[in-house]
Structure 1
Amino acid sequence: FNVARRFLSQETRSKIQSAVSSTPVVLFMKGNPEQPQCGFSRAAVKVLELQGVPPEKFTSFDVLSDPELRSAIKEFSDWPTIPQLYVDGEFVGGCDILLSMHQSGELEQLLEKKGVIPPLEEAVPEEHKRASESS
């Protein structure tokens, strides 16, 4: 086993566990959604906005205001960079993964599956569906 790896205290681990489970979408970032402190955090916030994640289903934690959280979250997820996105209590990834999932449509599918955003079909009127099926 890896001796170099610091072990999270049970208290820190449970604090992070309750943080990642506090709302359906949780972002550990530098700064806050109104004032991101790095381009990667800004991009992550933008992707969540573009996906239509409602504010009441989204929480962010500023790792710059809490150095212990900043190092602990990296260990908790075993992921070396910030931002980090969690959906439904599960680690999704950092900025690059978020961007590629956004572009491929995977992020939208995940958010729909977890009930964070409504499925797209609901927004399409019936006549448009029939028109596209018959063509």
Structure 2
Amino acid sequence: MTEAAAADPVHAFIADTVGQNDVVLFMKGTPDQPRCGFSSVVVQILDHLGVGFVGVDVLQDEDLRNGIKSYSDWPTIPQLYVKGEFVGGSDIVREMFQSGELQPFFTEKGVSAA
């Protein structure tokens, strides 16, 4: 954990969540009930690939919604993390999926897809 994460409880929560789960999607809403189209797209892609993931609803906490943006230095939500690495948002995940890069990426990271 970085010094900044230790000083910021929201960053500490994010670091712990990303560290303890292979695939984490910080999103608006839940995997069962996405509350924005971009979050829904990423959920659909992960479900299509059969990748298990943890969804974290940033709408439940204003500090978390702002904290995830500063944690990744990425301005938008959703944000996908795989094995602790920030992958990107909806556009990047969709482009990787459409180009055929996403499934091999998961395999390379040791994340099993159906």
Q: Is TM-score (shorter-chain normalized) higher than 0.5?
A: yes
- % same residue: 52
Aligned counterpart, 1:26: 24
Structure 1, unmatched stretches of 5+, are 1-6, 121-135
Are 1:64 and 2:59 counterparts?
yes
Q: TM-score by structure 2 length?
A: 0.89
Q: TM-score by structure 1 length?
A: 0.76
Query: Could you list the per-position Cα deviations for residues 45-78 of structure 1 after superposition, in whole angstroms to 9, with x for gaps in the alignment?
Result: 0010111103xxx111000001110000000000
Structure 1 runs of 4+ aligned residues shifted over 4 Å read none
Q: Distance in 1 between matches of 2:40 and 2:99?
A: 20
Root-mean-square deviation (Å): 1.7
| Number of equivalences | 110
Query: Could you list the per-position Cα deviations for residues 78-133 of structure 1 after superposition, in whole angstroms to 9, with x for gaps in the alignment?
Result: 00000000000000000000000001111111101112125x9xxxxxxxxxxxxx
Question: What amino acid is aligned across from residue 74 of structure 2 in structure 1?
Answer: W
Q: Distance in 2 between matches of 1:13 and 1:83?
A: 16
